[in-house]
Structure 1
């Protein structure tokens, strides 16, 4: 399949009936207003993006930033017409938009389909009603369920956008959202850890001490769990973390929160770290070593907890050093398994000093494996 070529048009805040506590789209995108989005501008932008690479990608126009189906229908027609013209001419391959779960009634879906729109992304954020209330979203979790069901019945491709780290977020609410989203069976998910942007209510809550943002490590942990959970249920996660922009990189708009341009890479690193630790958990189980050395992994604690860790390490060092552990991976996955700047290697050296772990590229395989005492676990 061809890679996607996204041609984004931002409509910050347009159509939004509420001001969410976390939202300042103009600051995030570096754009304000849509007066420049004339039909001719849209046509020319599409041509500029594609250039001479028409056959290199699956080109798709995307209307992001606001609640597309909640804006006046006349404006929807104005924005969609030039994109649909390009679609009919075969210059692009698709059109998508993002909107609110409570703004996709049958009439709204019919309008989109009349212009060839096949993909709708819903700003879900959380499936916990109290979090939605605190964030001033103006919709409920049940409205998300109804919206996804309605879109899928009409044959639309459905994406879900999540914002882990909103006020009131805990591991329990993360799990609640993860389980609920899997039941929706969306076609894909985007995960954006919450950032504190200037000129938002969340910024005021942060300054007053009412809101504490996620640390980068917490955000990576939440995202890794969600990504692993969705992928294990055959739901693709197409992005983790906001895309880097000049506005965010300058620091003028970003007040606090886990902004990390390499978030996607770090999340994949964390996934492999957790998979390796699960191998340890399975191999060095209570049945193998007795009560004195037990690993208990839980996504709620997000790490392996050890009984009397320091004392147990000292008592079992000689015994455990006899175990040979080899982590092997194809070259294409080297940076993902070893971690950005070898962060996973350094983690295991510090967390498991009693183990002798070897990290080896293996060009004969296309999978990642953890070999302990000759017993192989495929990650």
Structure 2
């Protein structure tokens, strides 16, 4: 498959009937207004992006930042027409937009389809109604369910955007959202931990002590859980954390919160850290069954631990049973996963050294395998 090439057009706040407590799109994107988005500008921008690389990527125009289907129909036509023209002429491969769950009625979907739009991303944020009310979203969790069903019935590709860390968020509400989103069966998910942006109600709540943002480590943990959960249910997570921008990097707009340009990498690091630690828990809890096969034993591990499930099978000779508690551990991985397993700046290695000083842990590249393995006293766990 070709790599994805996105051609973004931001429409901050246009069409939004509400002002959410966390939202200041102009601050996040560094852009205000859409008067520059003329048909000629859109076509010229597309041509500049594609250039001589037409066949190198799957090129897709994306209308982001606002509630696209909630803006005036006339403006939707103005924005979609030049993109649709480029689609029909074969210069791009697709068009997508982002919008609100309560703004995708049958007529709105028909308009999108008439211009060749095939992908719609919904700003869901949470599936807990209390959190949605506090954030002044103006829609309910049930409206999300209805919107996804309508879009999928019309053959649209559906994405869901989540904002872990809103006011009132707990592990219970994270689980509620995770379970509910899986039931929706979206095609993909984006996860953006909440940031406190200047000139928002959330910034006022933060300064008054009414709202406490997630720490970076909390955000990484929430995101790692959500990503692992969705991936286990065959739902792709295409992004975790906001994309780095000059406005956010300058610090002028960011009041507080877990802004980390490398959030995506840190979340993957956390996934591997938790997988390795679950191997430790399973092995040293001795919560396994054993059945004799002549001079061998087979160990079957099947568990639901910390909301994750996995199954591993491995064998060892009877003569090796007395070696099970020698605490020698080898983590092996292919070269292309080295940074993901060891962690950014070796954060995972340092974590295990500090938490498990009694263990001898070797971290080894193994170019003969394409999977990550945790070997404890001869027993192998595939992560």
Q: TM-score w.r.t. structure 1 length?
A: 0.92
8 Å contact from structure 2 (residues 328, 377) kept in 1: yes
1:100 aligns with 2:100: yes
CA distance in 2, matches of 1:51, 1:351: 52
Q: Which stretches in structure 2 are left out of the alignment for 5+ residues? A: 289-303, 309-322
8 Å contact from structure 1 (residues 320, 354) kept in 2: no
1:284 is paired with a residue whose SS is helix
8 Å contact from structure 2 (residues 188, 238) kept in 1: yes
1:367 aligns with 2:371: yes
8 Å contact from structure 2 (residues 325, 377) kept in 1: no
8 Å contact from structure 1 (residues 148, 158) kept in 2: yes
8 Å contact from structure 2 (residues 39, 78) kept in 1: yes
Cα displacement (A) at 1:298 = 2.7
Give the alignment of 1:265-344 within 5 angstroms.
265-287=265-287, 298=306, 322-344=326-348
Q: Which residue does the alignment assign to 1:66?
A: 66
1:212 aligns with 2:216: no
CA distance in 1, matches of 2:287, 2:170: 32
Deviations 1:147-169 (A, max 9, x none): 00000000000000000000000
Cα displacement (A) at 1:132 = 0.1
CA distance in 2, matches of 1:287, 1:92: 54
Q: Which residue does the alignment assign to 1:349?
A: 353
Cα displacement (A) at 1:287 = 4.4
1:23 aligns with 2:27: no
Q: Which stretches in structure 1 are left out of the alignment for 5+ residues? A: 289-295, 301-318
CA distance in 1, matches of 2:211, 2:332: 42
Cα displacement (A) at 1:106 = 0.3
Cα displacement (A) at 1:286 = 4.8
Q: Which residue does the alignment assign to 2:311?
A: none
CA distance in 2, matches of 1:215, 1:320: 38
Q: Which residue does the alignment assign to 1:51?
A: 51
Deviations 1:331-367 (A, max 9, x none): 0000000000000000000011111100000000010
CA distance in 1, matches of 2:180, 2:204: 30
Deviations 1:105-153 (A, max 9, x none): 0000000000000000000000000000000000000000000000000
CA distance in 2, matches of 1:200, 1:298: 35
Cα displacement (A) at 1:178 = 0.1
CA distance in 1, matches of 2:98, 2:287: 50
Label 1:287 to 1:95 Cα distance change in 2 as closer, same or farther (>3 A). closer
CA distance in 2, matches of 1:298, 1:38: 51
1:234 is paired with a residue whose SS is coil
CA distance in 2, matches of 1:10, 1:168: 29
2:132 is paired with a residue whose SS is helix
8 Å contact from structure 1 (residues 122, 161) kept in 2: yes
Q: Which residue does the alignment assign to 1:303?
A: none
CA distance in 2, matches of 1:10, 1:83: 14
CA RMSD in angstroms comes to: 1.5
Cα displacement (A) at 1:374 = 1.1
Q: Which residue does the alignment assign to 1:260?
A: 260
Q: Which residue does the alignment assign to 1:184?
A: 184
Give the alignment of 1:228-243 within 5 angstroms.
228-243=228-243
Aligned pairs, how many? 355
8 Å contact from structure 1 (residues 124, 161) kept in 2: yes
1:250 aligns with 2:250: yes
CA distance in 2, matches of 1:115, 1:7: 17
2:243 is paired with a residue whose SS is coil
Which has the larger strand fraction?
2
Cα displacement (A) at 1:282 = 1.1
Q: TM-score w.r.t. structure 2 length?
A: 0.91
8 Å contact from structure 1 (residues 321, 356) kept in 2: no
